């Protein structure tokens, strides 16, 4: 396993939708393991393959609370089948370091995907797990947290991320 670099907004690769995984390979399983290690070291509760520059419909989430055992879940070729209710959740994103924004999402979702072993499953989720699934699913469609904000918050977050990018390139240059 290896910790991979996470792409940061405004990297254009974050806008490229992931491709379906036709057949699960050892390379995909290695990617999943690397994504889990990367997510835990960040630390975050979810990570999509597109956030590490890999063009696949794969994401991982672990919504276990501090001190609880790991609850790592792998979603390959996910589809959101149903959603209900509305919730506003204070979200962060590993591709938007330091940013937190209120984002409106469905309160509950039903998702179908394949697990790490390739077996299909369906899952009903609510609360943080439902939010994390929707957030990571968006990444696989090329949709980012900033796209879910109103015009003013979108402009402010965009500027904040540009300043962060500029200051980090000045520091490394």
Distance in angstroms (rounded) separating the CA atoms of residues 131 and 85: 12
**Tens digit of each residue's pLDDT (9 = 90 or more) over 50-77:** 999 999 999 999 999 888 999 999 999 9
101 is catalytic: no
Eight-state DSSP code of residue 173: -
Eight-state DSSP code of residue 56: B
* 88 neighbors 62 (Cβ within 8 angstroms): no
**Tens digit of each residue's pLDDT (9 = 90 or more) over 43-55:** 999 999 999 999 9
Sign of the dihedral through C-alpha 131, 135, 138, 143: positive
Question: Residue 81: which of 57, 118, 109, 119 has the closest Cα?
Answer: 109
pTM: 0.94
At 167, the pLDDT band (50, 70, 90 cuts) reads confident
**Amino acid 171: pLDDT:** 60
Per-domain residue ranges of the chain: 12-172
Tell me the CATH number of domain 12-172, given options 3.40.50.300, 3.40.50.720, 3.90.45.10, 3.40.640.10.
Answer: 3.90.45.10
Catalytic residue among 54, 84, 136, 166: 136
């Amino acid at each position: 396993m290896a910790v991979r670099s996470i792409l940061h907004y405004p990297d254009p690769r974050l806008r490229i939708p992931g491709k379906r995984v036709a057949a699960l390979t050892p390379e995909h399983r290695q990617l999943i393991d690397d994504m889990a290690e990367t997510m835990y070291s960040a630390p975050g509760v979810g990570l999509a393959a597109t956030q590490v520059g890999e063009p696949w419909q794969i994401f991982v989430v672990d919504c276990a609370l501090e001190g609880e055992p790991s609850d790592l879940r792998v979603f390959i070729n996910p589809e959101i089948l149903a959603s209900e209710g509305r919730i506003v959740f204070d979200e962060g994103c590993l591709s938007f370091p330091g940013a937190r924004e209120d984002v409106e999402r469905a309160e509950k979702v039903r998702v179908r995907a394949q697990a790490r072993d390739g077996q299909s499953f369906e899952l009903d989720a609510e609360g943080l797990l439902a939010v994390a699934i929707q957030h990571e699913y968006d990444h696989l469609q090329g949709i980012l947290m900033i796209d879910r904000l109103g015009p003013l918050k979108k402009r402010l977050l965009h500027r904040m991320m540009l300043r962060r990018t500029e200051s980090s390139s000045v520091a490394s240059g």
